[in-house]
Amino acid sequence: MGDVYRIFYIHVPTAWNGLLLLTAAFVCAIMYLVKGDLMWDDRLEASMEAGVVLSALLTIQGSIWARPTWGVWWNWDPRLTTTAILVFAFAGILALRTSLKEPRRRAMVTAVATIVAAADVPLVYFSVRFWNSLHQIQSSPSTVSAAFVWPLRVNAIAVLILMAGLIQLRAETVARLREAGSEPPPLDEPGNGGAAQ
Amino acid sequence: MNGEIVGGWEYVIAVYIISAIVYAGYAYSVLRRDNASRSAIKETKS
């Protein structure tokens, strides 16, 4: 493939972690429906937000990689199409949350919508096997050259540690705002670091 | 013609720069919103 193969070392860890975080959101949705504890809704929002960021970044990385290898920025290939659906579905759920003010109703609607949207996660992963695809098969230690395995693992673990820390912090923020019964403060408010007066 | 793509470093550099911006930008966003929520609640209590 030439030098452009180096995109692989950031693209694949982003993909692994993006799908992992959205799976974590799915688990949080199930846990909320089973336990009814709003703590799981806080974690769901944090995981989903991070998962959407990584999935959107994944799509951008893939588009840039597609240009020199496939000759186009975008193709309605099964892997690309299911990934685009994933990004829009979960971003839509995050947008939906902002319109629901009552915490219990918001958590219930989010949990149900997350379980429905999560059906696309395995479709993204297995799309390259289910259908004819321009995209190569899933990259895993068993399908890539031995020289690629450790750099991939190191990058994937680094991204996972970063995102785990950010999700923990974001979940604490969401819980704090919920317990205070307040809306997220506008970030552009002067005076107190962006908080509402 | 052996199927190898010649060049392409501009695509590699673009992907790594965009990825760094997105990761750093998201981390900054989370930290800023956390700080803003702490300040807002502190203001409400005082």
Q: Which of A9, A37, A36, A39 is nearest to A157 (CA)?
A: A9
A→B contacts (Cβ < 8 Å), by residue, are: 1-4, 6-7, 10-11, 14, 50, 53, 57, 60-61, 64-65, 67-69, 159, 162, 166, 169-170, 172-173, 176-177, 180, 182, 184-185, 187, 189, 192-197
pLDDT of residue A195 exceeding 50: no
pLDDT-based confidence at residue B41 (cuts at 50, 70, 90): confident
Q: Which of B21, B42, B13 is nearest to A7 (CA)?
A: B13
Q: What is the DSSP letter of A192?
A: T
Q: How far apart are CA A57 and CA A63, in angstroms?
A: 10
Give the SS3 label for residue B1.
Answer: coil
Q: What tens digit of pLDDT does each residue of A105-153 get?
A: 999 999 999 999 999 999 888 877 777 777 777 777 777 777 778 888 9
Q: Which of B23, B21, B5, B2 is nearest to B13 (CA)?
A: B21
**More confident of the two residues A2 and A26:** A26
The C-alpha angle with vertex A73 and arms to A159 and A125, in degrees rounded to 5, equals 45
Q: What is the DSSP letter of A191?
A: T
Q: How far apart are CA A179 and CA A150, in angstroms?
A: 43
Q: CA of B41 to nearest chain A CA: how many angstroms apart?
A: 7
Q: What tens digit of pLDDT does each residue of A37-95 get?
A: 999 999 999 999 999 999 999 999 999 999 988 888 998 988 899 999 999 999 999 99
Q: How far apart are CA A193 and CA B35, in angstroms?
A: 7
Q: What tens digit of pLDDT does each residue of B10-25 get?
A: 999 999 999 999 999 9
Region of residue A100 (left: phi > 0; alpha: psi -120 to 50; beta: else): beta
pLDDT of residue A191 exceeding 70: no
DSSP-assigned beta bridge partners for residue A189: A194
